[in-house]
Amino acid sequence: MKEKIESLASGELFIVPESDYGRVEVWRMHDVYVLFELPMYGGDPNYIATYMHDSVDLMIEYIGQLT
């Protein structure tokens, strides 16, 4: 997952595979990653957090707690 996230260009999206609690979108916007939760049963994405480009490991650890 880390390689896929780090290879994103600005404006690109990576969707973390499904879990029991829905999915997580990772958007790269310039040098930051913005996380959104996609509810399992539909609805609007919910903002979760923003991480700087050099905090990918911390972000992946946080995503692991969500999924």
Residue identified by tokens 């290879």 is 7
Q: How confident is the model at residue 62 (pLDDT cuts 50, 70, 90)?
A: confident
What are the tens digits of pLDDT across the range 30-46?
999 999 988 878 788 89
What are the tens digits of pLDDT across the range 2-60?
899 999 999 999 988 765 556 889 999 999 999 998 887 878 889 999 999 999 999 98
DSSP letters spanning 3-67: HHHHTPPTT-EEEEEEETTEEEEEEEETTEEEEEEE-TT----EEEEEEEGGGHHHHHHHHHHH-
pTM above 0.85, yes or no: no
